Structure 1
Amino acid sequence: MRALFSVLYPVIAITVFGLYPSMTIGPKEGWQVYSSAQDADGRCICTVVAPEQNLCSRDAKGRQLRQLLEKVQNMSQSIEVLNLRTQRDFQYVMKMENQMKGLRTKFKQIEDDRKTIMARNFQELKEKMDELQPLIPVLEQYKTDAQLISSFKEEIRNLSMVLAAIQEEMGAYDYDELYQRVLRLDSRLRNCMGKLTCGKLMKITGPVTIKTSGTRFGAWMTDPQASQRNNRVWYMDSYTNSKIVREYKTMEDFVANAVSRTYNLPFKWEGTGHVVYNGSLYYNKYQSNIIVKYSFETGRVLAQRALEYSGFHNTYSYSWGGFSDIDVMTDELGMWLVYATNQNAGNIVIAQMDPDTLEVQKTWNTEYSKRNAGESFMICGTLYITNSHLTGAKVYYSYSTKTSSYEYTDIPFHNQYFHISMLDYNARERALYAWNNGHQVLFNVTLFHVIKTEDDS
């Protein structure tokens, strides 16, 4: 670098004349005076000389230097171009690497999804097989039923021929005898159809959310005894300290909150186990074991009766509490009461009740603790009990009043809003009405019908 510096910058020579003031020295050839200095007497002290400006340009080293500089500049430009290309190629490589990582992730996800789909399909097939398994004995029964129906068809055909003949030949047959045959056939047909009205609970689907309103606890219902044109809805918010019942003309009005009428009951209610049956409300009177029958038409109490030995006011409530000791229910066979007594060690008691007089006609003692039950409902004379009121609840236990026997079941249902405080079956709608944490919802039920012949009975 020192040599290069001496080439790049002209050499400046300083000649000092302090010792020889009278001596004048001129610059050598190729040099020129750059500067001079004098003392106070005008004597020259020093002279600075430098090469002529055009001297270096003619020098061979100068030419080499310029060539070297040009090469350096060319190399710098080449290095800059190479650097730009390298950066562009590096970005391209990085982009390709990211794409490769994305492809690996997608391939792994596709493989995982394929395994998940295969597992889900296998589970669906297994569930279908489980659903079809109970139908095998029924198919055997249908063989006998088909013969019975064929017999009915044949008898109807014969009667039709007889009636046609009567039109042509009056008096050929005894009319009273023929009429009795028709009545017997009609009775047998109705009896056969009656056997289809009840069944065993197989599945619960839903729920369908109808409305969101009220507090966490309450009850809502329709009348299973009403005609198909009568779709009134009744609404009772909270489980205690209230006497107000709201009525809606239709389900659409209920959703729109268009109240048609409000009733002020003579007594407060307790719990959420109320029902409307044949135009009257049945409920548990506050802080008592008394059942009240209230007529919506007259606005009066038609009957009230104490339920003997029954616990009340959270003595034997469901697992969620709420003074739910006494639960009034209805199904295809009439009206029922579900409660618990000290005599049955706090286990559930089922009672069949006369809806007119509120008199208990018969009772059944189960071995299921009332406090361990989430909720319960009756279908075709069988009580179904859930094992919880919270998420993960299922129908765990059933008790048949026809056979006075019980069995453990496993029928899940979706507790969508995590807390159920009312669950009642409506025989007309074939649905479960539920109050689920401030939401009014409906569950559909699937019943397994078994047609019994005279030989079976």
Structure 2
Amino acid sequence: MKLCVIIPLCALFTLTQQVPSQDKCVCDLTNSAKAFPYDKLSSVEDNASKCNSNITPKKTLELESLMLGLERRLPQLQEDVSVLEREDDGELYGVLSLLVIENELTEIKQLIDKLNMTSQRHQQLTTDTTEQLKELRDKMAELQEYDTMQVVKRQQANQRLKRDLDQCKNEHQPIPHPTQPPQGICPYGKFVNVTGPVVYTPGEYPGSYMYGAWGRDPKPAVGKENWYWLVMLTSSNVYSNYVRLYSSLSSLIVGVSVPGNVLIHSSNPTTNTIQGPNVVLYGDALYYNCYYKDIVCRFNLTTKTITTMQLPEGTRFNSKGNFCHLDECYPYTDLDLATDESGVWVIYTTTQDFGNLVLSKVEEGEQPTFNQTWHTSVYKQAVTNTFMACGVLYATRYISKEVEEIFYSFDTSTGVEKFNIGIFIKKMSPNIYSLNYSPVDQMLHAYCNSFMVSYKVLFE
């Protein structure tokens, strides 16, 4: 806050005219007011800036993420203990179950320790900030004494008046209804909004890997219902050769990977390893863009085997058909893999479609194939990300460093396109490098500048 001080000249100076002779006129000016303390105002501005940098939404979300992880971990422990009590045979089964529970208790203890440390830091930050705000308020009260024309006081009164007028005006206007996306064939109803973020965590490797993807398997293997997966581009921010697994959300948040890595190949990169950040896990198999090819690879996590699907001739690949916004393009995002209630989808573009988005459905089987293809009229390089929900393709675009907009939809059941969706996502980092919908819990999982972020999808 800056004070604009305007003081009439007559209040500042006493004017004395002396006429020693007819040829000369001499004026003595005497300042009758105190000089404005610009150094004190500068100090107030610096302290306010430091206060803003110390208190950020990220600090609050860090605590919320840890609380969410603990909230989801404790019922799982309770369930495992109940199973042990019911089925303990006093022999091998009991020993193995106790080892599982011991691992869960270790993870919970690590989570609680991290939560305690974070809470202590936040309490100290709250105490320090309260003292700083009190000092700032006192200093501003002192500075306001120099406002002899009461400029600041009148500005505050005008702001209050404007606020009251706006409130009165809004009370007499109908509330506009937000634009609704197409319904599609969805058991939950219409997709109406995205809230959150619910989870915001750097995981095991804070700041280490800028590009990647994470989420849940919509069709998990038995015993893996609560697992999460993570793929980080570990070579040149372009390639990877493994998927990392976590037994729960809390394990992912605190960075404890009990299952560990599942290796696709010992070399990175090489034939049929991962290229680009847009990957998904479905049916205990990882789907991704094969290294240096216009081909989709499916890596079976159980058998460690790879099957491939050739994309149509003319498909743009190897960073020639990326997601973009005005300032930059996201390298090696030619192919986007997505999951929803019905399975796996591939979003890409071809020379025949002049760079517009093309959508193909993957037909599962021993040798997966493309079942059906749809062609859209939205230009891929005007899009930053896509995802599927209930058979509807949604596309996002970059609005600012803080906001991403879901602006477009294509309903595969009707072929209807809409460009006016108008649902906004609050970002925690400037760029979202991968975005995928999880039908298991109706969450959007985003990977943003090495952070894992999730949002809740709301249906009407």
- The TM-score bracket by the shorter chain reads 0.5 to 0.7
The equivalent of 1:254 in structure 2 is 252
Look up the SS of the partner of 2:240 in the other structure. coil
> Are 1:230 and 2:218 counterparts?
no
- Which residue, 320, 340, 343 being the options, matches 2:352? 343
Q: Quick check: which has more Rg, 1 or 2?
A: 1
The equivalent of 2:409 in structure 1 is 398
State how far apart, in whole Å, the 1-side matches of 2:143 and 2:404 are. 50
The equivalent of 1:408 in structure 2 is 419
State how far apart, in whole Å, the 2-side matches of 1:443 and 1:404 are. 27
- One-letter code aligned to 1:333: S
The equivalent of 2:394 in structure 1 is 384
State how far apart, in whole Å, the 2-side matches of 1:442 and 1:353 are. 25
Q: Map of 1:20-419 to 2, 5 A cutoff?
A: 99=145, 101=147, 104=150, 107-108=153-154, 110-115=156-161, 117-118=163-164, 129-131=175-177, 197-212=187-202, 213=206, 214-226=208-220, 230-238=225-233, 239-260=237-258, 261-266=260-265, 267-301=272-306, 303-309=307-313, 310-319=315-324, 320-356=329-365, 357-388=367-398, 391=401, 392-409=403-420, 410-419=422-431
Give the count of matched residue pairs: 299
Query: How far is the alpha carbon of 1:210 from its aligned partner?
Result: 2.7
State how far apart, in whole Å, the 1-side matches of 2:371 and 2:171 are. 46
Look up the SS of the partner of 2:398 in the other structure. coil
Query: How far is the alpha carbon of 1:317 from its aligned partner?
Result: 1.4
Return 5+ residue gaps in structure 2 as ranges: 1-32, 35-140, 266-271
Kept in 2: contact 1:203–1:445 (CA 8 A): yes
State how far apart, in whole Å, the 2-side matches of 1:232 and 1:426 are. 13
Return 5+ residue gaps in structure 1 as ranges: 1-89, 139-193, 449-457
State how far apart, in whole Å, the 2-side matches of 1:122 and 1:351 are. 51
Kept in 2: contact 1:216–1:436 (CA 8 A): yes
Query: How far is the alpha carbon of 1:299 from its aligned partner?
Result: 2.5
State how far apart, in whole Å, the 2-side matches of 1:265 and 1:297 are. 11
- Give the TM-score, by structure 1 length: 0.58
- One-letter code aligned to 1:414: K
Q: Call closer, same or farther: CA 1:134–1:248 in 2, change over 3 Å.
A: closer
- One-letter code aligned to 2:250: E
Kept in 2: contact 1:215–1:438 (CA 8 A): yes
- One-letter code aligned to 1:257: G
Kept in 1: contact 2:319–2:331 (CA 8 A): yes
Kept in 1: contact 2:346–2:362 (CA 8 A): yes
Kept in 2: contact 1:206–1:443 (CA 8 A): yes
Kept in 1: contact 2:239–2:276 (CA 8 A): no
Relative contact order (C-alpha < 8 Å, sep 6+): which is higher?
2
Query: How far is the alpha carbon of 1:240 from its aligned partner?
Result: 2.2
Look up the SS of the partner of 2:154 in the other structure. helix
Kept in 2: contact 1:389–1:420 (CA 8 A): no
CA deviations 1:125-174 (Å, max 9, x no partner) are 79992347879xx9xxxxxxxxxxxxxxxxxxxxxxxxxxxxxxxxxxxx
State how far apart, in whole Å, the 1-side matches of 2:381 and 2:152 are. 52
- Give the TM-score, by structure 2 length: 0.58
Q: Call closer, same or farther: CA 1:252–1:225 in 2, change over 3 Å.
A: same
